[in-house]
Amino acid sequence: DAGITQSPRHKVTETGTPVTLRCHQTENHRYMYWYRQDPGHGLRLIHYSYGVKDTDKGEVSDGYSVSRSKTEDFLLTLESATSSQTSVYFCAISEGVGPYEQYFGPGTRLTVT
Amino acid sequence: DQQVKQNSPSLSVQEGRISILNCDYTNSMFDYFLWYKKYPAEGPTFLISISSIKDKNEDGRFTVFLNKSAKHLSLHIVPSQPGDSAVYFCAARSNSGYALNFGKGTSLLVTP
């Protein structure tokens, strides 16, 4: 298994509070991704990073920001959490230049009350 | 707009039989296709992939077929085992980017 950890694994927070999720990898892969999984939607890309300090938006980026100051860490921040951001969040990594497989972390279940 | 579609939310197959999971796509720029398997409370696990220059890729019990003209791919599992019971996601990569587009998933149940 790829060395990817996510923290916390579970979090309950209140509407309007800031939340930061962390993804840590030990594979030294260049590319890192944040997805959310919701019933009826599959996996949707929030943001991704193609190098330290290099990030770009995905399909559902509104309300989220990311940062990557080190190769191994990719942070996802909800500046002011809303109930619509209740979801399971997955981090993924890839080498980026063929093969194109992405390897996923175990996920963080976030509940915004 | 969903560019990768898995039109069957669920599938039930008897142990030992073939499981066929289908996936359709709309974007002709997709050049690489992947299947992921996901158990509850775990992250998706990469299963098998295929490049758009091929029409078949096989790995043990798993075979993926690609029909570019129909923009259709399928995953065959032979023989199916109870441990194959999971949600299967089809994903595609565009030749203009690195992100993957995922379908909504098909829940496979393999019964003894």
**A61-85 tens-digit pLDDT:** 999 999 999 999 999 999 999 999 9
CA distance A59 to chain B (A): 9
- Residues with pLDDT less than 50, chain B: none
Nearest to A105 among B43, B100, B104 (CB): B43
A35 pLDDT higher than 60? yes
At A98, the pLDDT band (50, 70, 90 cuts) reads low
Give the per-residue pLDDT at A99. 65
Half-sphere exposure of A65 (CA within 13 A, CB side): 6
Give the per-residue pLDDT at A42. 86
A87 pLDDT higher than 80? yes
A6 pLDDT higher than 80? yes
Neighbours of B91 (CB within 10 A): 26
Residue with tokens 């916390």: A8
Nearest to B105 among A42, A58, A100 (CB): A42
Give the per-residue pLDDT at A113. 95
Rounded distance between C-alpha atoms, residue A69 and residue A53, angstroms: 6
Q: What is the dihedral of CA A77, A63, A5, B60, to 10 degrees?
A: -160
**Closest chain A residue to the Cα of B49, Cα to Cα:** A101
pLDDT above 90 as % of chain B = 89
Give the per-residue pLDDT at A45. 93
CA distance B64 to chain A (A): 15
**Measured CA distances, A43 to A14, A63, B53 (Å):** 24, 17, 26
A97 pLDDT higher than 70? no
Query: How many beta-carbon contacts under 8 Å exist across A and B?
Result: 53
Residue B76 C-alpha from the chain's centroid: 9
Provide the residue type at A74 as one letter.
F
CA distance B46 to chain A (A): 7
At A2, the pLDDT band (50, 70, 90 cuts) reads low
Residues in B lying within 8 Å of A, measured between beta carbons = 6, 32, 34, 36, 41-46, 49, 89, 91, 93, 98-100, 102-105
CA distance B26 to chain A (A): 17
Give the per-residue pLDDT at B72. 97
A1 pLDDT higher than 60? no
Report whether A77 contacts A67 (CB < 8 A). yes
Question: Are B98 and A104 a contacting pair at CB < 8 A?
Answer: no
Give the per-residue pLDDT at B54. 95
